[in-house]
């Protein structure tokens, strides 16, 4: 049996500039971290001649099929097809947090399954190749309108500056942050669930269609990446990071009316009034998890103010996709 663990992610600033539709012309960059919440794939062999099916997949439902063409779950189907695995395999999926919630779970799924099946075929796949293949599967095979940051951070892990250029080029630079500042950043972040899940690709497609009207917003978001990176790697106070998250959220809200809602705006306002210095909705928007930057002495008040929203305790700078059992 092979077990692969792949992290989810929190994107701080730059989201939206990681779309080729934007960065091919303007360049792009994101400041993003993997977190210690994961998706797990287990892959094992079985003798299908003893059963009335050849492939078994277990996720929120169970599929037992005789051929790849019968698989309903498109990413499972196409990734198995890519590896030429047509029978005698069982794959199970589990996750620490729900899908469609702004933490990059779809790309973590793709990266994790590719990594697990590579190991199943006794092949090591380098991080860059792993990320690039996941991008190819999602954008070219599944025809999803998505950016490139999620696949990269799922493969590489850690706290990174990722820069984009050309049509699909990316450079990953680990953020040179001091241990003390990394710990302060980790302790200052709070994550709350809005209770709303949604498919990111649907909203992202609508945002890409509005690029002509939102290019200015994305350029300002790109400028925030450089400022946030300097803040994290410098010697000054980390306090302005909250204001940078707030600035990123205001630009993100302007990308499409469906990014936020009255309920989400109310949740954000309540947290700010209770002491959060800034924050943003993660992922495409419309629901999922909301991140806040809150000094430790104000966190109890924010937690009380958002008592109706589940809080997720997490840590940043987690490792990338890896085989944890073979």
pTM of model > 0.75: yes
Tell whether the model's pLDDT for residue 75 goes beyond 70: yes
Query: DSSP string spanning 162-205?
Result: EEEETTTEEEEEE----HHHHHHHHHHEEEEE-S----HHHHHH
The whole-number pLDDT of residue 204 equals 79
> pLDDT at position 322, please?
98
CB 75 within 8 A of CB 125: no
Cβ neighbours, 10 Å, residue 59: 16
Residues in the chain: 326
Q: According to the model, what pLDDT value does residue 99 have?
A: 87
Share of the chain above pLDDT 70, in %: 98
Segment holding 55, helix H or strand E: strand 55-58
The set of residues, in sequence order, having a beta carbon less than 8 Å from that of 19 and lying 6+ positions away, is 28, 146, 147, 148, 204, 208
- Which position has the higher pLDDT, 256 or 284? 256
Per the listing, tokens 């497609």 go with 205
* Model pLDDT for residues 203-246, shown as the tens digit of each residue: 777 778 887 889 999 999 999 999 999 999 999 999 999 999 99
Q: What is the pLDDT of residue 210?
A: 82
Residue 34 in tokens: 């993997």
pLDDT of residue 168: 79
Residue 195 is predicted with a pLDDT of 87
Domain map (residue ranges) of the chain? 2-176+318-325, 179-312
Write the class of the CATH domain 2-176+318-325. Answer: alpha beta
Buried b (16+ CB within 10 A) or exposed e, 267-301: bbeebbebbbbbbbbbbbbbbbbbbbbbbeebbee
Question: What pLDDT is stored for residue 201 in this prediction?
Answer: 65
Are 2 and 325 a contacting pair, CB within 8 Å?
yes
Q: How far is CA 195 from CA 2, 61, 100, 264, in A?
A: 33, 22, 11, 10
What would the mean pLDDT of 144-150 be, rounded to a whole number? 93
**Is 200's pLDDT higher than 70?**
no
Query: What pLDDT is recorded for position 186?
Result: 97
Res. 153: pLDDT tops 80: yes
Instruction: Share the mean pLDDT of the chain.
Output: 94
Looking at residue 137, the DSSP 8-state letter turns out to be I
Task: Classify domain 179-312 by CATH architecture.
Answer: 2-Layer Sandwich (3.30)
Residues 102-117 have pLDDT tens digits of 999 999 999 999 999 9
Average pLDDT over residues 65-77: 96
pLDDT: which is higher, 169 or 118: 118
- pLDDT band for 251, please (50, 70, 90 cuts): very high
């Amino acid at each position: 049996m092979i077990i692969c663990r792949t992290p989810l992610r929190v994107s701080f600033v730059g989201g939206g500039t990681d779309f080729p539709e934007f960065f091919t012309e303007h360049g792009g960059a994101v400041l993003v971290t993997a977190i210690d919440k994961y998706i797990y794939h287990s892959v094992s062999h079985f003798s299908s001649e003893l059963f009335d099916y050849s492939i078994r997949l277990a996720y929120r439902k169970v599929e037992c099929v005789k051929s790849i063409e019968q698989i309903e779950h498109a990413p499972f189907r196409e990734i198995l097809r890519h590896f030429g695995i047509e029978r005698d395999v069982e794959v199970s999926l589990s996750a620490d947090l729900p899908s469609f919630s702004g933490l990059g779970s779809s790309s973590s799924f793709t990266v994790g399954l590719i990594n697990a099946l590579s190991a199943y075929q006794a092949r090591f796949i380098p991080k860059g190749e792993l990320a690039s293949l996941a991008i190819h599967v999602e954008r070219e095979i599944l025809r999803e309108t998505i950016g490139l940051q999620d696949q990269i951070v799922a493969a590489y892990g850690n706290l990174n500056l990722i820069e984009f250029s050309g049509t699909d080029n990316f450079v990953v630079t680990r953020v040179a942050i001091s241990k003390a500042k990394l710990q302060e950043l980790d302790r200052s972040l709070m994550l709350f669930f809005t209770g709303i899940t949604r498919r990111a690709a649907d909203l992202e497609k609508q945002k890409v269609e509005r690029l002509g009207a939102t290019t200015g917003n994305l350029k300002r978001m790109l400028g925030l990446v450089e400022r946030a990176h300097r803040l994290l790697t410098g010697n000054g106070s980390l306090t302005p990071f909250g204001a940078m998250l707030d600035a990123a959220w205001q630009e993100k809200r302007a990308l499409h009316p469906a990014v936020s809602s009255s309920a989400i705006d109310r949740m954000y306002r309540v947290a700010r009034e209770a002491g959060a210095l800034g924050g943003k909705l993660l992922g495409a928007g419309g629901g999922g998890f909301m991140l806040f930057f809150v000094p430790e002495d104000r966190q109890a008040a924010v937690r009380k103010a958002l008592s109706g929203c589940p809080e997720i305790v997490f840590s940043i700078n987690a490792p990338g996709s890896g085989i944890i059992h073979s």
